[in-house]
Structure 1
Amino acid sequence: MAPEPATVTYLFHLAAGRDERITLRFAPETHLLLPEDGDAPPAWTHLAFHPCAPCPLAPTPGALCPFARALGGFVHRFDAFYSYERAVVEVITAQRTMVAPCSLQEALASIAGLIGATSGCPLLAFFRPMARFHLPFASEQETLVRAFSLHLLGEYLKAGGSGARPVSVEALEARYAAVSEVNRGMANRLRAAFSRDAAVNAIIILDTFAQAVPFVAGEALAELRPLFEGIPAPPPRSVGR
Protein backbone atom coordinates (compact mmCIF):
# COMPACT_ATOMS: atom_id res chain seq x y z
CA MET A 1 0.00 0.00 0.00
CA ALA A 2 1.35 3.40 -0.98
CA PRO A 3 2.08 5.77 1.93
CA GLU A 4 -0.41 8.53 2.54
CA PRO A 5 0.61 12.15 1.79
CA ALA A 6 1.82 14.13 4.78
CA THR A 7 -0.37 17.11 5.68
CA VAL A 8 0.01 20.43 7.44
CA THR A 9 -3.13 22.41 8.26
CA TYR A 10 -3.19 26.11 9.10
CA LEU A 11 -6.39 27.19 10.82
CA PHE A 12 -6.74 30.98 10.98
CA HIS A 13 -9.14 32.42 13.56
CA LEU A 14 -9.67 35.92 12.18
CA ALA A 15 -11.56 39.02 13.20
CA ALA A 16 -15.36 38.97 13.53
CA GLY A 17 -15.37 35.22 14.07
CA ARG A 18 -14.24 34.32 10.56
CA ASP A 19 -12.13 31.18 10.16
CA GLU A 20 -9.98 30.07 7.24
CA ARG A 21 -8.58 26.55 6.97
CA ILE A 22 -5.74 25.69 4.59
CA THR A 23 -4.55 22.10 4.36
CA LEU A 24 -1.37 21.39 2.43
CA ARG A 25 -0.60 17.88 1.18
CA PHE A 26 2.93 16.67 0.42
CA ALA A 27 4.31 13.78 -1.63
CA PRO A 28 5.51 11.08 0.79
CA GLU A 29 9.07 10.68 -0.48
CA THR A 30 10.01 14.06 -1.94
CA HIS A 31 7.82 16.27 0.27
CA LEU A 32 6.89 18.33 -2.77
CA LEU A 33 3.58 20.13 -2.41
CA LEU A 34 0.78 18.29 -4.17
CA PRO A 35 -1.36 20.56 -6.37
CA GLU A 36 -5.02 20.96 -5.56
CA ASP A 37 -7.66 20.77 -8.26
CA GLY A 38 -9.41 24.07 -8.69
CA ASP A 39 -10.05 27.02 -10.93
CA ALA A 40 -7.71 28.09 -13.69
CA PRO A 41 -4.57 29.76 -12.32
CA PRO A 42 -4.94 33.56 -12.06
CA ALA A 43 -2.95 35.79 -14.40
CA TRP A 44 -0.50 36.88 -11.70
CA THR A 45 0.79 33.29 -11.37
CA HIS A 46 2.16 33.22 -14.91
CA LEU A 47 5.93 33.05 -15.13
CA ALA A 48 6.18 36.21 -17.22
CA PHE A 49 4.24 38.31 -14.67
CA HIS A 50 6.86 40.19 -12.59
CA PRO A 51 9.40 37.34 -12.72
CA CYS A 52 12.18 37.24 -10.16
CA ALA A 53 15.53 38.28 -11.61
CA PRO A 54 17.46 34.98 -11.32
CA CYS A 55 14.61 32.66 -12.36
CA PRO A 56 16.15 29.73 -14.30
CA LEU A 57 12.83 28.52 -15.74
CA ALA A 58 12.10 29.04 -19.43
CA PRO A 59 9.27 31.56 -19.96
CA THR A 60 7.35 29.44 -22.45
CA PRO A 61 3.76 30.42 -23.33
CA GLY A 62 1.44 29.57 -20.47
CA ALA A 63 4.25 28.63 -18.08
CA LEU A 64 3.49 29.24 -14.41
CA CYS A 65 5.72 30.31 -11.56
CA PRO A 66 5.69 27.28 -9.19
CA PHE A 67 5.70 29.44 -6.07
CA ALA A 68 2.95 31.73 -7.35
CA ARG A 69 0.84 28.83 -8.52
CA ALA A 70 1.02 27.25 -5.07
CA LEU A 71 0.08 30.52 -3.37
CA GLY A 72 -2.69 31.20 -5.87
CA GLY A 73 -5.05 28.65 -4.40
CA PHE A 74 -5.59 30.49 -1.13
CA VAL A 75 -3.93 33.91 -0.87
CA HIS A 76 -6.96 35.72 -2.29
CA ARG A 77 -8.91 34.75 0.83
CA PHE A 78 -6.88 37.25 2.85
CA ASP A 79 -7.21 40.26 0.53
CA ALA A 80 -9.96 41.64 2.77
CA PHE A 81 -7.52 42.02 5.68
CA TYR A 82 -4.62 44.27 6.58
CA SER A 83 -1.27 42.86 7.62
CA TYR A 84 -1.41 44.22 11.17
CA GLU A 85 -4.75 42.59 12.04
CA ARG A 86 -4.50 39.98 14.78
CA ALA A 87 -5.28 36.28 14.47
CA VAL A 88 -5.00 33.12 16.49
CA VAL A 89 -3.45 30.46 14.29
CA GLU A 90 -3.40 26.70 14.83
CA VAL A 91 -0.86 24.64 12.90
CA ILE A 92 -1.81 20.98 12.88
CA THR A 93 0.50 18.15 11.85
CA ALA A 94 0.43 14.42 12.48
CA GLN A 95 2.78 14.87 15.43
CA ARG A 96 1.47 17.98 17.21
CA THR A 97 -0.71 21.07 17.18
CA MET A 98 0.84 24.50 17.73
CA VAL A 99 -1.20 27.59 18.57
CA ALA A 100 0.05 31.17 18.33
CA PRO A 101 -1.58 34.60 18.63
CA CYS A 102 0.12 36.77 16.03
CA SER A 103 -0.40 39.33 13.31
CA LEU A 104 -1.83 38.10 10.05
CA GLN A 105 1.38 38.94 8.21
CA GLU A 106 3.41 36.76 10.61
CA ALA A 107 1.06 33.82 10.11
CA LEU A 108 1.06 34.22 6.33
CA ALA A 109 4.86 34.46 6.34
CA SER A 110 5.02 31.09 8.08
CA ILE A 111 2.77 29.30 5.60
CA ALA A 112 4.25 31.13 2.60
CA GLY A 113 7.73 29.96 3.59
CA LEU A 114 6.48 26.38 3.79
CA ILE A 115 4.74 26.66 0.43
CA GLY A 116 7.70 28.24 -1.33
CA ALA A 117 10.09 25.56 -0.12
CA THR A 118 7.87 22.75 -1.40
CA SER A 119 6.41 24.41 -4.50
CA GLY A 120 8.99 23.17 -6.99
CA CYS A 121 10.73 26.54 -7.35
CA PRO A 122 14.35 25.55 -8.07
CA LEU A 123 15.75 28.50 -6.12
CA LEU A 124 13.78 27.62 -3.00
CA ALA A 125 14.35 23.85 -3.16
CA PHE A 126 17.21 24.20 -0.66
CA PHE A 127 14.57 24.71 2.04
CA ARG A 128 12.54 21.59 1.26
CA PRO A 129 14.35 19.42 3.84
CA MET A 130 13.55 22.10 6.42
CA ALA A 131 9.92 22.06 5.32
CA ARG A 132 9.82 18.32 5.95
CA PHE A 133 10.38 19.21 9.62
CA HIS A 134 8.28 22.37 9.57
CA LEU A 135 8.60 24.61 12.61
CA PRO A 136 6.04 27.42 12.36
CA PHE A 137 6.76 30.83 13.87
CA ALA A 138 10.45 29.98 14.34
CA SER A 139 12.80 32.68 15.58
CA GLU A 140 15.65 33.93 13.40
CA GLN A 141 18.19 31.95 15.42
CA GLU A 142 16.10 28.77 15.25
CA THR A 143 15.75 29.16 11.49
CA LEU A 144 19.45 29.81 11.00
CA VAL A 145 20.47 26.79 13.11
CA ARG A 146 18.06 24.54 11.22
CA ALA A 147 19.19 25.90 7.84
CA PHE A 148 22.89 25.43 8.57
CA SER A 149 22.38 22.01 10.18
CA LEU A 150 20.45 20.70 7.19
CA HIS A 151 22.94 22.34 4.82
CA LEU A 152 25.68 20.38 6.62
CA LEU A 153 23.63 17.18 6.51
CA GLY A 154 22.91 17.69 2.81
CA GLU A 155 26.60 18.04 1.96
CA TYR A 156 27.38 14.94 4.04
CA LEU A 157 24.76 12.88 2.19
CA LYS A 158 25.90 14.18 -1.21
CA ALA A 159 29.41 12.99 -0.36
CA GLY A 160 28.06 9.50 0.25
CA GLY A 161 28.43 9.78 4.00
CA SER A 162 32.18 10.37 3.80
CA GLY A 163 32.19 13.95 5.06
CA ALA A 164 34.63 14.82 2.29
CA ARG A 165 32.78 17.87 0.95
CA PRO A 166 33.77 21.23 2.51
CA VAL A 167 30.97 23.15 4.21
CA SER A 168 31.00 26.91 4.71
CA VAL A 169 28.80 29.72 5.92
CA GLU A 170 29.52 31.46 2.60
CA ALA A 171 27.63 28.75 0.70
CA LEU A 172 24.62 29.26 2.96
CA GLU A 173 24.84 33.01 2.44
CA ALA A 174 24.83 32.54 -1.34
CA ARG A 175 21.66 30.44 -1.04
CA TYR A 176 19.93 33.16 0.91
CA ALA A 177 21.03 35.85 -1.57
CA ALA A 178 19.16 33.99 -4.33
CA VAL A 179 16.16 33.52 -2.02
CA SER A 180 16.02 37.25 -1.43
CA GLU A 181 15.70 37.80 -5.18
CA VAL A 182 12.80 35.36 -5.29
CA ASN A 183 11.09 37.11 -2.38
CA ARG A 184 11.37 40.50 -4.03
CA GLY A 185 9.90 39.14 -7.25
CA MET A 186 7.03 37.53 -5.38
CA ALA A 187 6.33 40.73 -3.44
CA ASN A 188 6.10 42.60 -6.74
CA ARG A 189 3.65 40.00 -8.08
CA LEU A 190 1.40 40.22 -5.05
CA ARG A 191 1.58 44.00 -4.88
CA ALA A 192 0.36 44.19 -8.48
CA ALA A 193 -2.39 41.59 -7.97
CA PHE A 194 -3.97 42.49 -4.61
CA SER A 195 -5.34 45.61 -2.99
CA ARG A 196 -4.31 45.05 0.63
CA ASP A 197 -0.95 44.32 2.13
CA ALA A 198 -1.19 41.15 4.23
CA ALA A 199 0.30 38.81 1.63
CA VAL A 200 2.90 41.33 0.44
CA ASN A 201 4.12 42.02 3.96
CA ALA A 202 4.32 38.30 4.66
CA ILE A 203 6.84 37.95 1.84
CA ILE A 204 8.68 41.05 3.07
CA ILE A 205 9.08 39.40 6.49
CA LEU A 206 10.67 36.38 4.79
CA ASP A 207 12.92 38.65 2.77
CA THR A 208 14.04 40.67 5.79
CA PHE A 209 15.52 37.52 7.28
CA ALA A 210 17.00 36.38 3.95
CA GLN A 211 18.76 39.73 3.55
CA ALA A 212 20.08 39.64 7.11
CA VAL A 213 21.72 36.22 6.88
CA PRO A 214 25.00 37.40 5.25
CA PHE A 215 25.43 39.90 8.07
CA VAL A 216 24.45 37.77 11.06
CA ALA A 217 25.25 34.15 10.15
CA GLY A 218 28.82 34.08 11.42
CA GLU A 219 28.00 35.99 14.58
CA ALA A 220 24.90 33.93 15.34
CA LEU A 221 26.77 30.65 14.94
CA ALA A 222 29.64 31.96 17.09
CA GLU A 223 27.15 32.61 19.87
CA LEU A 224 26.34 28.89 19.86
CA ARG A 225 29.97 27.78 20.22
CA PRO A 226 29.93 27.73 24.05
CA LEU A 227 27.12 25.17 23.93
CA PHE A 228 29.55 22.68 22.37
CA GLU A 229 32.54 23.42 24.58
CA GLY A 230 33.44 20.91 27.26
CA ILE A 231 31.63 18.02 25.60
CA PRO A 232 33.91 15.00 25.99
CA ALA A 233 34.98 12.91 23.05
CA PRO A 234 33.01 9.72 22.53
CA PRO A 235 34.40 6.62 24.23
CA PRO A 236 36.38 4.24 22.04
CA ARG A 237 34.35 1.56 20.36
CA SER A 238 34.80 -1.85 21.86
CA VAL A 239 36.30 -4.50 19.62
CA GLY A 240 34.38 -7.76 19.47
CA ARG A 241 36.26 -10.93 20.31
Structure 2
Amino acid sequence: MDSENVVYHFELEDRKIEFDVATSPGQVNDDAHPEWARLSHRQCECCPLKESDCAYCPAATRINEVIEAFADNQSTEQVKVTVTTAERCYFEECDLQVGINSLMGLMMATSGCPVLKELGAMASFHIPFCSTRETLHRTVGSYLIQQYFKQLKGEEADWELKHLKELYGVLEGLNQDFSKRIQSSATSDALSNAIIMFFATSVVVASSLDEQLARHERYLTNTPSLK
Protein backbone atom coordinates (compact mmCIF):
# COMPACT_ATOMS: atom_id res chain seq x y z
CA MET A 1 0.00 0.00 0.00
CA ASP A 2 0.99 3.64 -0.39
CA SER A 3 3.13 4.62 2.60
CA GLU A 4 1.15 7.86 2.93
CA ASN A 5 -2.25 6.17 2.95
CA VAL A 6 -4.35 4.63 5.71
CA VAL A 7 -7.06 2.11 4.80
CA TYR A 8 -10.20 1.75 6.92
CA HIS A 9 -12.14 -1.46 6.29
CA PHE A 10 -15.64 -1.68 7.81
CA GLU A 11 -17.42 -5.03 8.06
CA LEU A 12 -21.14 -4.65 8.76
CA GLU A 13 -23.76 -7.37 8.91
CA ASP A 14 -24.90 -6.84 5.33
CA ARG A 15 -21.82 -5.44 3.57
CA LYS A 16 -18.20 -4.42 3.65
CA ILE A 17 -16.86 -1.00 2.74
CA GLU A 18 -13.36 0.43 2.50
CA PHE A 19 -11.91 3.94 2.61
CA ASP A 20 -8.40 4.65 1.34
CA VAL A 21 -7.31 7.87 3.04
CA ALA A 22 -4.28 9.89 1.97
CA THR A 23 -2.51 11.40 4.98
CA SER A 24 -0.90 14.20 2.99
CA PRO A 25 -2.90 17.47 3.06
CA GLY A 26 -5.77 17.53 0.60
CA GLN A 27 -6.34 20.18 -2.03
CA VAL A 28 -9.46 22.32 -2.04
CA ASN A 29 -11.35 21.87 -5.29
CA ASP A 30 -14.48 23.29 -6.81
CA ASP A 31 -15.83 20.11 -8.36
CA ALA A 32 -19.55 19.47 -7.96
CA HIS A 33 -20.49 18.66 -4.36
CA PRO A 34 -23.77 18.62 -2.36
CA GLU A 35 -25.30 21.96 -1.46
CA TRP A 36 -24.73 21.37 2.27
CA ALA A 37 -20.98 21.30 1.56
CA ARG A 38 -20.93 24.81 0.12
CA LEU A 39 -18.62 27.10 2.05
CA SER A 40 -21.42 29.60 2.65
CA HIS A 41 -23.76 26.96 4.10
CA ARG A 42 -23.48 27.45 7.87
CA GLN A 43 -19.82 28.40 7.51
CA CYS A 44 -17.82 28.04 10.71
CA GLU A 45 -17.28 31.38 12.41
CA CYS A 46 -13.54 30.72 12.75
CA CYS A 47 -13.12 29.84 9.05
CA PRO A 48 -10.76 32.27 7.24
CA LEU A 49 -11.74 31.05 3.75
CA LYS A 50 -13.76 33.09 1.28
CA GLU A 51 -15.92 31.87 -1.58
CA SER A 52 -13.43 33.48 -3.92
CA ASP A 53 -10.88 30.99 -2.53
CA CYS A 54 -13.12 27.95 -2.85
CA ALA A 55 -16.81 27.34 -3.27
CA TYR A 56 -16.95 24.38 -0.90
CA CYS A 57 -15.86 23.59 2.66
CA PRO A 58 -12.76 21.34 2.47
CA ALA A 59 -13.73 19.27 5.53
CA ALA A 60 -17.31 18.79 4.35
CA THR A 61 -16.31 17.63 0.88
CA ARG A 62 -13.71 15.26 2.34
CA ILE A 63 -16.19 13.41 4.53
CA ASN A 64 -19.10 13.42 2.09
CA GLU A 65 -18.31 9.87 0.93
CA VAL A 66 -18.61 8.67 4.53
CA ILE A 67 -21.96 10.41 4.94
CA GLU A 68 -23.25 8.79 1.76
CA ALA A 69 -21.90 5.36 2.71
CA PHE A 70 -23.56 5.24 6.13
CA ALA A 71 -26.67 7.31 5.46
CA ASP A 72 -29.01 4.48 6.51
CA ASN A 73 -27.07 3.12 9.46
CA GLN A 74 -27.56 3.59 13.19
CA SER A 75 -24.82 4.68 15.57
CA THR A 76 -25.05 1.61 17.81
CA GLU A 77 -24.69 -0.98 15.05
CA GLN A 78 -21.80 -3.34 15.83
CA VAL A 79 -19.02 -3.37 13.22
CA LYS A 80 -15.59 -4.87 12.76
CA VAL A 81 -13.05 -2.24 11.76
CA THR A 82 -9.59 -3.03 10.41
CA VAL A 83 -7.20 -0.10 9.96
CA THR A 84 -4.11 -0.70 7.86
CA THR A 85 -1.13 1.64 7.79
CA ALA A 86 2.26 1.14 6.17
CA GLU A 87 3.67 -0.13 9.47
CA ARG A 88 0.90 -2.24 11.01
CA CYS A 89 -2.77 -3.21 11.25
CA TYR A 90 -5.29 -2.39 13.96
CA PHE A 91 -8.55 -4.21 14.64
CA GLU A 92 -11.53 -3.16 16.74
CA GLU A 93 -15.07 -4.47 17.26
CA CYS A 94 -17.13 -1.44 18.20
CA ASP A 95 -20.20 0.69 17.64
CA LEU A 96 -20.34 2.18 14.15
CA GLN A 97 -20.08 5.70 15.57
CA VAL A 98 -16.73 4.84 17.19
CA GLY A 99 -15.30 3.55 13.90
CA ILE A 100 -16.60 6.56 11.96
CA ASN A 101 -15.20 8.92 14.59
CA SER A 102 -11.70 7.52 14.12
CA LEU A 103 -11.97 7.66 10.32
CA MET A 104 -13.39 11.17 10.18
CA GLY A 105 -10.76 12.49 12.56
CA LEU A 106 -8.08 11.47 10.08
CA MET A 107 -10.04 12.72 7.07
CA MET A 108 -10.81 16.13 8.52
CA ALA A 109 -7.30 16.78 9.80
CA THR A 110 -5.95 16.18 6.29
CA SER A 111 -8.82 17.78 4.37
CA GLY A 112 -7.15 21.08 3.64
CA CYS A 113 -9.23 22.93 6.25
CA PRO A 114 -7.00 25.85 7.33
CA VAL A 115 -8.07 25.47 10.98
CA LEU A 116 -7.80 21.69 11.29
CA LYS A 117 -4.53 21.49 9.37
CA GLU A 118 -2.66 22.18 12.60
CA LEU A 119 -3.64 18.66 13.67
CA GLY A 120 -2.29 17.22 10.43
CA ALA A 121 1.20 16.53 11.75
CA MET A 122 -0.17 13.53 13.64
CA ALA A 123 -1.72 12.04 10.52
CA SER A 124 1.62 10.61 9.39
CA PHE A 125 1.62 8.59 12.61
CA HIS A 126 -2.09 7.85 12.74
CA ILE A 127 -3.21 5.61 15.59
CA PRO A 128 -6.93 4.78 15.58
CA PHE A 129 -9.18 4.40 18.62
CA CYS A 130 -6.96 6.44 20.98
CA SER A 131 -8.07 7.16 24.53
CA THR A 132 -8.19 10.73 25.84
CA ARG A 133 -4.84 10.27 27.59
CA GLU A 134 -3.23 8.87 24.45
CA THR A 135 -4.61 11.73 22.36
CA LEU A 136 -3.28 14.23 24.88
CA HIS A 137 0.18 12.62 24.75
CA ARG A 138 0.25 12.55 20.95
CA THR A 139 -1.10 16.08 20.50
CA VAL A 140 1.21 17.78 23.01
CA GLY A 141 4.18 15.64 21.95
CA SER A 142 3.65 16.47 18.29
CA TYR A 143 3.30 20.17 19.09
CA LEU A 144 6.52 20.25 21.12
CA ILE A 145 8.43 18.53 18.31
CA GLN A 146 7.29 21.32 16.00
CA GLN A 147 8.56 23.88 18.50
CA TYR A 148 11.94 22.14 18.58
CA PHE A 149 12.32 22.52 14.82
CA LYS A 150 11.19 26.15 15.01
CA GLN A 151 13.93 26.82 17.51
CA LEU A 152 16.52 25.16 15.26
CA LYS A 153 15.49 27.55 12.48
CA GLY A 154 15.90 30.55 14.75
CA GLU A 155 12.17 31.07 15.14
CA GLU A 156 10.43 31.70 18.44
CA ALA A 157 9.39 28.42 20.06
CA ASP A 158 6.21 28.13 22.15
CA TRP A 159 7.35 25.89 25.01
CA GLU A 160 4.50 27.11 27.23
CA LEU A 161 1.90 25.74 24.80
CA LYS A 162 0.15 29.11 24.51
CA HIS A 163 -0.81 28.66 20.86
CA LEU A 164 -1.93 25.08 21.44
CA LYS A 165 -4.31 26.26 24.16
CA GLU A 166 -5.64 28.91 21.78
CA LEU A 167 -6.10 26.28 19.07
CA TYR A 168 -8.17 24.07 21.34
CA GLY A 169 -10.35 27.07 22.13
CA VAL A 170 -10.92 27.63 18.40
CA LEU A 171 -11.72 23.93 17.92
CA GLU A 172 -14.39 24.19 20.59
CA GLY A 173 -16.21 26.77 18.47
CA LEU A 174 -15.59 24.84 15.27
CA ASN A 175 -17.17 21.81 16.93
CA GLN A 176 -20.46 23.61 17.45
CA ASP A 177 -20.54 25.18 13.99
CA PHE A 178 -19.52 22.10 12.00
CA SER A 179 -21.90 19.88 13.98
CA LYS A 180 -24.77 22.12 12.83
CA ARG A 181 -23.63 21.74 9.22
CA ILE A 182 -23.59 17.95 9.54
CA GLN A 183 -26.91 17.74 11.35
CA SER A 184 -28.56 19.64 8.52
CA SER A 185 -27.41 17.05 5.98
CA ALA A 186 -26.82 13.68 7.62
CA THR A 187 -29.78 11.29 7.90
CA SER A 188 -27.88 8.91 10.16
CA ASP A 189 -27.31 9.55 13.85
CA ALA A 190 -24.03 7.63 13.49
CA LEU A 191 -22.56 10.53 11.54
CA SER A 192 -23.78 13.23 13.89
CA ASN A 193 -22.57 11.32 16.94
CA ALA A 194 -19.19 10.64 15.33
CA ILE A 195 -18.64 14.36 14.70
CA ILE A 196 -19.53 15.17 18.30
CA MET A 197 -17.13 12.46 19.50
CA PHE A 198 -14.35 13.74 17.24
CA PHE A 199 -14.42 17.17 18.84
CA ALA A 200 -15.25 15.96 22.37
CA THR A 201 -11.59 15.49 23.30
CA SER A 202 -10.79 18.96 22.04
CA VAL A 203 -13.55 20.43 24.18
CA VAL A 204 -12.38 18.54 27.26
CA VAL A 205 -8.76 19.59 26.78
CA ALA A 206 -9.71 23.15 25.86
CA SER A 207 -11.35 23.58 29.27
CA SER A 208 -7.88 23.50 30.83
CA LEU A 209 -4.84 22.08 29.11
CA ASP A 210 -2.71 22.66 32.20
CA GLU A 211 -5.24 20.81 34.35
CA GLN A 212 -5.39 17.89 31.93
CA LEU A 213 -1.60 17.60 31.83
CA ALA A 214 -1.40 17.73 35.60
CA ARG A 215 -4.13 15.11 35.96
CA HIS A 216 -2.32 12.67 33.69
CA GLU A 217 1.26 13.62 34.65
CA ARG A 218 2.17 10.24 36.11
CA TYR A 219 0.85 8.45 33.03
CA LEU A 220 2.53 10.82 30.59
CA THR A 221 5.91 10.78 32.36
CA ASN A 222 5.82 7.16 33.59
CA THR A 223 6.29 8.40 37.14
CA PRO A 224 5.50 5.87 39.92
CA SER A 225 2.54 6.69 42.13
CA LEU A 226 3.37 8.26 45.48
CA LYS A 227 2.63 6.10 48.49
The answer to whether TM tops 0.5 is yes
Alpha-carbon distance, 1:187 to partner: 1.4
Alpha-carbon distance, 1:214 to partner: 2.7
- Contact 1:91–1:98 under 8 Å retained in 2: yes
* 2:144 matched residue in structure 1: 152
Alpha-carbon distance, 1:140 to partner: 0.4
Q: In structure 1, how many angstroms separate the alpha carbons of the residues matched to 2:153 and 2:217? A: 25
Alpha-carbon distance, 1:228 to partner: 5.9
The gaps in structure 1 that reach 5 residues or longer are 231-241
Alpha-carbon distance, 1:219 to partner: 3.2
Query: Is residue 26 of structure 2 the alignment partner of residue 33 of structure 1?
Result: yes
* 2:11 matched residue in structure 1: 13
Partner secondary structure for residue 202 of structure 1: helix
Q: What TM-score results when the alignment is normalised by the length of structure 2?
A: 0.87
Aligned pair count reads 220
Partner secondary structure for residue 72 of structure 1: helix
Q: In structure 1, how many angstroms separate the alpha carbons of the residues matched to 2:46 and 2:106? A: 21
Q: In structure 2, how many angstroms separate the alpha carbons of the residues matched to 1:164 and 1:225? A: 29
Summarize the Cα distance change of 1:62–1:117 in structure 2 as closer, same or farther, 3 Å threshold: closer
TM alignment of 1:97-176, pairs within 5 A: 97-160=89-152, 165-176=157-168
Q: Please tell me the residue identity of whatever aligns with 2:47.
A: C
Q: What TM-score results when the alignment is normalised by the length of structure 1?
A: 0.82
Partner secondary structure for residue 65 of structure 2: coil
Q: Deviations over 1:44-94 (max 9, x none)?
A: 111011111111001339611110111113321101111121111000111
Q: Deviations over 1:152-195 (max 9, x none)?
A: 11112122266962322443221112122222222111111122
* 2:199 matched residue in structure 1: 207
Q: In structure 2, how many angstroms separate the alpha carbons of the residues matched to 1:189 and 1:96? A: 34
RMSD over aligned CA atoms reads 2.5
TM alignment of 1:174-185, pairs within 5 A: 174-185=166-177
Q: In structure 1, how many angstroms separate the alpha carbons of the residues matched to 2:53 and 2:152? A: 40
Q: In structure 2, how many angstroms separate the alpha carbons of the residues matched to 1:122 and 1:164? A: 21
Q: Percent identity?
A: 31
Q: Please tell me the residue identity of whatever aligns with 2:22.
A: R
TM alignment of 1:42-53, pairs within 5 A: 42-53=34-45
- Contact 1:156–1:163 under 8 Å retained in 2: no
1:23 to 16, 20, 24: 20
1:68 to 33, 55, 60: 60
The gaps in structure 2 that reach 5 residues or longer are none
Which deviates the most, 5-14 or 96-105? 5-14
Partner secondary structure for residue 159 of structure 1: helix
TM alignment of 1:180-191, pairs within 5 A: 180-191=172-183
